[in-house]
Amino acid sequence: MLERLQSFEGNTPDVEAAAIVGVDGLTIAASFPLGVEEERVSAMSASMMNIGKRISSELARGMLDEVYIQGDDGYILLMSMGNEALLSVLARQQAKLGILFLEMRKAINDLRDLVRI
């Protein structure tokens, strides 16, 4: 699983970190740079996804698939991996979002079998 995450990072320039996080906020697998507190990031990613799910169903946007957060120094992208887990990715500001989403979807297709959901 970690191998697939690392190959995703290798394939997509401007990705700084990637993690698979359970909906409970615990890290399942992570490839994070030094200085990032893995536990807090995972917990926050899961919170964000949960609030996103509530707001999405409240507003009749259907089941939540993706959350994207843009700060002025870069992006955080969350993509649902079914009911149990999500893929959380940090990218630099110059990242090409279209390519990134495409690569995330490919990675999720491969990873989904590994987390068995």
Q: Strand 27-31 relative to strand 15-22: parallel, antiparallel, unpaired?
A: antiparallel
Nearer to its own copies, 3 or 40 (CB): 40
CB of 79 to its own copies, least distance (A): 9
Q: Is 18 among the residues that bind its own copies (CB under 8 A)?
A: no
When binding is defined by CB under 8 A, the residue of 9, 31, 74, 103 that contacts its own copies is: 74
Those residues with Cβ within 8 angstroms of residue 95's Cβ, 6 or more apart along the chain or in another chain: 12, 13, 14, 15, 74, 75
Judged by the rule CB under 8 A, the positions of this chain that interact with its own copies are 36-37, 40-41, 44-45, 47-48, 51-52, 54-76, 90
